[in-house]
Structure 1
């Protein structure tokens, strides 16, 4: 596919690899061609775009089937504190349940050289915190048990089935007539599922143990063996009674695979992966809304109406606050008069849906469905360090529109030395 006429002097054309910040314009025609022909195009450029502007996905992607060309997309905030964002999102069980939609790791493709990039560390933090928070919730009910096969040379009794091969070798040939070598299933805590969880927990402790206390979880695994072979990860069959274990085991296996993957790579290499920053920001805002409004207003998240034709980020309703709110991971709203036309159209449509308006009847300004104008709120990433919490008293008007407001939220960052 290489077209010499499209080559330029950029890093991608010289090195077959390039690094950009999210939502930046791509000027290299050859790189654009590779992205558009890549299976990851919808993540890199966006679902409906064949343009030249990167989307809000960050991560590392292979662009060809031969795994010779790649692109690394960094957060636009270079010192973003992923630890704080992930921890805040995962502090609520309502957010944890579908948090896995935010990111994906591809262990089937060769590693990519991240060249010391911060994304590599973010991958360890993300998987570890996600797993630990889910594990903490599950351990409230204690560890699950499952049937495991055991073999034992029993004294004058039979349990399960006689293992004739071993019985002949160990008992008949040794004239041990008082013994019966048996194979049986036992309902035990030392099952494969729990051994996988324990292995992942130990890896998490080595990853982030100094900043996240995972030691309290370890006490639950005192009777669980440390023995685990990598091939066993492919043989697991989950008990259908324990559906909640399914995602937890999946996360644990990913952590074990990631550790094994990185151990076999060079220092700066890691598997291809992506994080949807727009969705992460949405979840982060949801957690902050719960923090701020849990005793003041009800928050409806991802409310679908009209047979799922419309799905709203948030409906905030109560005696004090009533808004149709939407997160927009866009810098334009930091400008005094900045907005995007399509965002205004989207929220305007939401505010005209009767099923949505019915949720806002507690608003003091509400009279009837036909005359009521719902308040629309756009929540965006702010550059102001004072905007660390949701405070609906600090909303600002979007002057060109009736009852349209915006509210900035500061994304946590590492403190620069």
Structure 2
């Protein structure tokens, strides 16, 4: 096993086989660096070949990141559910990799994602469920063959075997989700996680209280979501992943062998979604995410009457002490001259020959936790733009601490 931290160089010569891997990339990180394979902004475990695996962990000074709290914060925004599935990927078709450092991260990440999606379901779907039962009164229609075998031949004349349909919440889709919720409960309680996740779990279980969990393995793949019900479709997809992840056995939900399927977490995208969750919690609809301009997609636009700004996340802790990269300055300067972006910010009647206002550009970068969970909440954005970038007009830096495991 080859283990590296984010952005460290690998001892590989150029080989096209490595180009299909997500954890490494052929690049030249800085002007003074040499061309080579470097760990990207992603962590996880992948197979390099049939015998050798690659493991990339978080960078130095970031070893105690609380991934679960970051992921839960992401769901406080108004983004579509499908956007969160891009943060991580898991390959169940390849053999597992023994990585003790990631023993519980993969399982818990899927469970937190699943619980957060189910938490968006406000009312349960209903449908017709078919029943075949031996009853005292006729219900639906009599199953003549079964009634003769079970009742007439046995002289049980007080019973009638009936087939009938009922409009119920106890449909296969809800049963599958309920079963995955029970798997999640077993895992969370065995890990002694903090109350916030357990509160979401209990809320979800209460919603599915009157749903059974009778789902056979052979039935799982037959259960499909519906495109009109996005919440359900994503919840069903994740429920299937959870059951497969634990090999359809609740006893494996607390596996301590330290093996994981090959997986990748995009830390840059996770941080971007995390910051959006904090911004949305503090400023609501004043934040526009990934608005399309001519020059690209700025991460965030802050739109208000008294203050307008362009914010861009950079998963690069070095910005705490160093100046901005030239390419980053050019990128944000392009956004601040983009007429589509300026009009979205609220600058009206502005054209190619108009006077271009100086729009504040803000770089948001991470630091390890300092006790402040959301520095935006309760503060105006203009008031926390107190770290100016030397030599540049209207450029600022804001550090956003990452939550850490206590």
> Normalised by the size of structure 1, how large is the TM-score?
0.80
Q: Does 1:329 align with 2:311?
A: no
Contact 1:148 1:191 in 2 (8 A): yes
Trace 1:134-173 onto structure 2 (pairs within 5 A).
134-138=117-121, 140-141=122-123, 143-153=124-134, 157=138, 159=140, 163=143, 165-173=145-153
For residues 163 and 109 of structure 1, the distance between their equivalents in structure 2, rounded to whole angstroms, comes to 48
Trace 1:26-105 onto structure 2 (pairs within 5 A).
26-29=10-13, 33=15, 36-38=16-18, 40-45=20-25, 51-64=36-49, 67-76=50-59, 77-94=62-79, 96=81, 98-105=83-90
Residue 400 of structure 1: aligned partner: 391
CA-to-aligned-CA distance 1:242-291 (integer Å, 9 cap, x gap): 34200011112212222227939871112111111101100111122123
Which of residues 274, 280, 296 is equivalent to 2:270? 280
Give the superposition deviation at 1:200: 1.4
Residue 22 of structure 1: aligned partner: 6
For residues 270 and 300 of structure 1, the distance between their equivalents in structure 2, rounded to whole angstroms, comes to 37
Which of residues 384, 403, 406 is equivalent to 1:412? 403
Residue ranges of structure 1 left out of the alignment (5+ in a row): 1-16
Q: Residue 95 and residue 277 in structure 1: after superposition, are their counterparts in 2 closer, same or farther (change >3 A)?
A: farther
CA-to-aligned-CA distance 1:123-172 (integer Å, 9 cap, x gap): 2322222222222221x32x222233321245674726x65553442245
Give the superposition deviation at 1:327: 0.6
Q: Does 1:187 align with 2:174?
A: no
For residues 224 and 46 of structure 1, the distance between their equivalents in structure 2, rounded to whole angstroms, comes to 51
Give the superposition deviation at 1:102: 0.8
Residue 222 of structure 1: aligned partner: 209
Which of residues 286, 292, 303 is equivalent to 1:317? 303
Say what the alpha-carbon RMSD is for the aligned residues. 3.1
Q: Residue 165 and residue 46 in structure 1: after superposition, are their counterparts in 2 closer, same or farther (change >3 A)?
A: farther
Contact 1:387 1:408 in 2 (8 A): no
For residues 239 and 176 of structure 2, the distance between their equivalents in structure 1, rounded to whole angstroms, comes to 7
> Normalised by the size of structure 2, how large is the TM-score?
0.82
SS of 1:187's partner is strand
Residue 377 of structure 1: aligned partner: 362
SS of 1:45's partner is strand
Give the superposition deviation at 1:334: 1.6
Give the superposition deviation at 1:319: 2.4
Please identify, of 223-232 and 322-331, the stretch whose mean Cα deviation from structure 2 is larger. 223-232
Q: Does 1:271 align with 2:254?
A: no
Which of residues 213, 219, 235 is equivalent to 2:222? 235
Which of residues 180, 183, 187 is equivalent to 1:207? 187
Q: Residue 173 and residue 107 in structure 1: after superposition, are their counterparts in 2 closer, same or farther (change >3 A)?
A: same
For residues 206 and 220 of structure 1, the distance between their equivalents in structure 2, rounded to whole angstroms, comes to 18
Contact 1:40 1:63 in 2 (8 A): no
Residue 6 of structure 1: aligned partner: none
Q: Residue 311 and residue 158 in structure 1: after superposition, are their counterparts in 2 closer, same or farther (change >3 A)?
A: same
Contact 1:261 1:271 in 2 (8 A): no
Greater relative CO (CA pairs within 8 A, separation 6+): 2
For residues 310 and 243 of structure 1, the distance between their equivalents in structure 2, rounded to whole angstroms, comes to 28
Residue 10 of structure 1: aligned partner: none
